[in-house]
Amino acid sequence: MENKFDFSAAIKELEEISLWFQNEEIDLDEGLAKFKKGAALIKKCRQHLKEVENQFFEVKKEVEEEKSNK
Amino acid sequence: MDKNNSQNLFTILRNLRNKIASQSRIKPFMVLHNKVLKEIADKKPSSPEELSKIKGMGQKKISQYGSILLETVKNFSSSSFSINNQEKIFSVGEYINFLNSILTPQRVVIKGEIGKISGRDNYFFFTLRDKNEEAILSCFIWKKTLDNFGVALKEGIEIKVEGYPEIFKRRGSLNFKVEHISLLGEGFLKQAFEALKKKLATSGFFSIERKKTVNKYVRRVGLITSNFSDAKDDFLTHLGKFGFKIYFHDVRVEGLYAVEDIVSAIRYFNENLSDTQVLVLTRGGGSLESLQAYNSEAIAKAIFSSRIPVVTGIGHENDETIADLVADIRASTPTDAARVISDPWRNARILLSQYKDSLVNNFFSRYQRTKDKILSVENFFNSLFKKYSQQLESIITDFFQNSISWLKFLQKKLDQVEQMLKLTDPKLRLQQGYSIVFNRVGKVIKNVSQLKIGELINLKFYRGGALSKVEKINGK
Per-residue pLDDT tens over the stretch B450-459: 888 899 999 9
Query: Residue B236, SS3?
Result: helix
* Of A32, A70, A44, A42, residue with least CA distance to B394: A42
Mean pLDDT of B258-266: 92
User: What is the Cα B100 distance to its own chain's centre?
Assistant: 56
What phi, psi does B350 have (nearest 5°)?
Answer: -65, -45
Q: For B55-69, B72-86, B193-207, B247-261, which range has the lowest pLDDT when averaged over its residues? A: B72-86
Chain A residues with CB inside 8 Å of B391's CB?
A: 11
pLDDT tens digits, one per residue of B191-217 = 888 888 999 999 999 999 889 988 888
Diameter of chain A by CA atoms?
A: 66
The upper half-sphere exposure of residue B444, i.e. CA atoms within 13 Å in the direction of its Cβ, equals: 5
Q: Provide Rg for chain A, Cα atoms.
A: 19
Judged against a pLDDT cut of 60, whether residue B82 lies above it is answered with no
CA-to-CA dists, residue A30 to A35, A38, B399, B407, angstroms: 8, 12, 15, 12
Indicate the SS3 state at residue B421.
helix
Taking residue B136's Cβ as centre, other Cβ atoms within 10 Å add up to 13
Q: What is the pTM of this model?
A: 0.49
Q: Out of A14, A31, A49, whose CB is closest to B406?
A: A31
Least Cα distance to B300 among B212, B205, B207 occurs for B205
Task: Give bridge partners of residue B182 from the DSSP assignment.
Answer: B160
What is the DSSP code string of B329-390?
EEESSHHHHHHHHHHHHHHHHHHHHHHHHHHHHHHHHHHHHHHHHHHHHHHHHHHHHHHHHH
Of B253, B255, B279, B254, the C-alpha closest to B267 is B279
Higher-scoring residue by pLDDT: B66, B302: B302
Nearest CA of chain B to the CA of A21: how many Å? 6
The span from the CA of B151 to the CA of B296, in Å, is 8
Of B386-390, B436-440, B468-472, least confident by mean pLDDT is B386-390
Extract the runs of DSSP E, i.e. beta strands, from B199-354: 220-225, 245-250, 278-283, 310-314, 329-331
DSSP one-letter code for A65: H
In this prediction, residues B168-194 reach a mean pLDDT of 86
CB contact under 8 A, B403 and A21: yes
Percent of chain B with pLDDT over 70: 97
Binned at pLDDT 50, 70 and 90, residue B223 comes out as very high
Where is pLDDT greater, at B79 or B93? Answer: B93
Are the C-beta atoms of residues B163 and B128 closer than 8 Å to each other?
no
* Alpha carbon distance B77, B84 (integer Å): 11
Across the interface, which of B378, B396, B406 has its CB nearest the CB of A42? B396
User: In chain B, whose CA is at the least distance from the CA of A38?
Assistant: B399
pLDDT attached to residue A1: 44
Q: Are the C-beta atoms of B182 and B153 separated by less than 8 Å? A: no
Chain B residues within 8 angstroms (CB to CB) of chain A = 374, 378, 381, 385, 388-389, 391-392, 395-396, 398-399, 402-403, 405-407, 409-410, 413
Cα of B109 vs its chain's centroid, Å: 45
Print burial letters for B47-67: b (CB count within 10 Å at least 16), e (below 16).
eeeebeebeebeeebbeebbe
Q: Confidence band (pLDDT; 50, 70, 90) for B1? A: very low
Give tens-digit pLDDT for B401-444. Answer: 888 888 888 888 888 878 887 777 777 778 888 888 998 888 88
Closest Cα in chain A, distance from residue B398 (Å): 7
Closest CB to B406 among A11, A15, A21: A21
B119 membership: H or E segment, kind and range = strand B108-119
**Can you tell me the distance from the alpha carbon of A47 to that of A15, in angstroms, rounded to the nearest whole number?**
18
Residue B14, pLDDT > 60, answer yes
CB B119 within 8 A of CB B144: no
The predicted pLDDT at position B203 comes to: 92
DSSP B107: -
**Partner B contacted by A35 (CB < 8 A):** yes
Asked whether the beta carbons of B105 and B19 are under 8 A apart, the reply is no
Residue B436 to residue B426: CA distance in whole angstroms: 9
**Which tens digit of pLDDT belongs to each residue from B16-42?**
888 888 888 788 888 888 888 888 888
Instruction: Say how far apart CA B90 and CA B128 lie, in whole Å.
Output: 32
Residues of chain A found within 8 Å of residue B388, distances taken between Cβ atoms: 49
Query: 3-state class of B106 per DSSP?
Result: coil
pLDDT classification of A2: cutoffs 50, 70, 90 = very low
Q: What is the pLDDT of residue B50?
A: 86
